[in-house]
Amino acid sequence: MLPFTRPTLDSEEFEAIKEVLQSGWLATGPKVAAFETALADYIGGDVQLRVFNSGTSALEAVLLAYGIGPGDEVIVPAMSFVASANVIVRCGATPKFVDVDLISRNIDAAAVAAAITPNTKAVIPVHFAGRAVEMDAIYQLAEQHNFLVLEDAAQAIGTRYKGRKIGSSGNPVCFSFHPNKNMTTIEGGAVAVNDPVLLKKIEGIRFHGIERDSQGSMDVTAWGGKMNMPDVGAALGLIQLKKLDSFNQKRRTLVERYLQQLPQHDALVLPANADGHSWHMFCILLNWEKIGLNRNQFLEVLKQQHAIAAGIHYPPIHLFALYRQYGYKAGDFPNAEKIGDQTLTLPLFPAMEEKDVDQVCLAVVSLLDGLNLMP
């Protein structure tokens, strides 16, 4: 069975984890410090990195550090993983959804501008599937209206925007290192930032609000949670980070093959390549009515007849029961809803070969042509 994704791990990763286990220091320690330094060096731009136990925790910590809470609105795309909106609710603020572009799956400045109100305190652009959002105009809006821009780069480690790595600008940018991401720490995330005041706040939020003076005496001056990364994950991350650029290059090579092999078809919408894209996922849109199958049937044929597993990324957030309570309904964001209805994530991970891509493309084409349909 060809999975839709799989982390790339070998003996170097296993030895790094073994070394930590044998050291006896399993929680946050020297490997975390080394990993934060290595991440900062990789991203560039004189930013500092602080790692977390998840990308979700990283997003939440930044919102909390900025004091965003009840009465505040945070603009967020209706098409993303639900964590992008859940952290807003967790802080007591109100998510303000906007639609996305059908091809890039990203928000743009026009959508953000139309959603701004006097209560707008932040916007969370999501670099969907590794494609950078056009950020310049969004930052201009933030300057005009005095709100925070918190970039959700959970799917975009290694992505470039206008020649610079996402995260190098100095504004808060959050990454995820979940096993399905372009590199992994098992679970984990990070914040890139160059603001020392924010840095101190998120350090406290990350670990119980604890502060220590030069003699090591402890004080707690504000609330903090338990969001730290253990050394086991950081040790894995140090090895994965060294391989990240080669992982991303392999992803780009595989995507080029997909784009060459998949046909122009009136039932198929392909994603578009873009400069700096790190290709976390390869998501196509399929018009099920034209094909004559529903999505579950299509997935089952891929699995049973072709030994291919595919994914669904993602249902639109505003139609989940939690977010319907805010008054959102079907029809509010047509592009996000079309993507949610028609999306299919095809296999993409560095250990794949071009022959695997060809296998997937042949299966998709046969289904587009009405072959191998379920009785």
Q: Which domains does the chain have, with CATH numbers?
A: 11-239 (3.40.640.10), 244-368 (3.90.1150.10)
* Alpha-carbon span 178 to 171, nearest angstrom: 22
138: tokens are: 């969004």
* Alpha-carbon span 121 to 205, nearest angstrom: 20
3-state secondary structure of 323: helix
Answer whether 209's CB lies under 8 Å from 224's CB.
yes
In this prediction, residue 374 carries a pLDDT of 44
* Separation in Å, CA 74 to CA 118, 202, 262, 322: 11, 19, 38, 16
In this prediction, residue 370 carries a pLDDT of 77
In this prediction, residue 371 carries a pLDDT of 57
The verdict on whether 181 is a catalytic residue reads: yes
Q: Which amino acid is at 53?
A: N
β-sheet bridge partners, residue 71: none
Going residue by residue through the chain, which has 375 residues, state the pLDDT in tens, using 9 for 90 and above: 999 999 999 999 999 999 999 998 999 999 999 999 999 999 999 999 999 999 999 999 999 999 999 999 999 999 999 999 999 999 999 999 999 999 999 999 999 999 999 999 999 999 999 999 999 999 999 999 999 999 999 999 999 999 999 999 999 999 999 999 999 999 999 999 999 999 999 999 999 999 988 998 999 999 999 999 999 999 999 999 999 999 999 999 999 999 999 999 999 999 999 999 999 999 999 999 999 999 999 999 999 999 999 999 999 999 999 999 999 999 999 999 999 999 999 999 999 999 999 999 999 999 998 754 443
- Show the CA angle centred on residue 178, arms to residues 175 and 182, nearest 5°: 70
* Alpha-carbon span 84 to 90, nearest angstrom: 11
What is the pTM (predicted TM-score) of this model?
Answer: 0.97
Catalytic residue among 96, 181, 201, 250: 181
Task: Tell me the residue length of the chain.
Answer: 375
- Show the CA angle centred on residue 180, arms to residues 179 and 181, nearest 5°: 95
Q: Which amino acid is at 339?
A: I
* Alpha-carbon span 82 to 78, nearest angstrom: 9
* Alpha-carbon span 201 to 311, nearest angstrom: 37
* Alpha-carbon span 189 to 191, nearest angstrom: 7
Task: Transcribe 227-283 into DSSP letters.
Answer: -PPPHHHHHHHHHHHHHHHHHHHHHHHHHHHHHHHSPP-TTEE-----TT---S-EE
CB burial of residue 54 (10 Å; 0-12, 13-18, 19+): buried
Q: Smallest Cα–Cα separation from 168: which of 148, 194, 142, 188?
A: 194
* Separation in Å, CA 46 to CA 140, 168, 230: 22, 7, 25
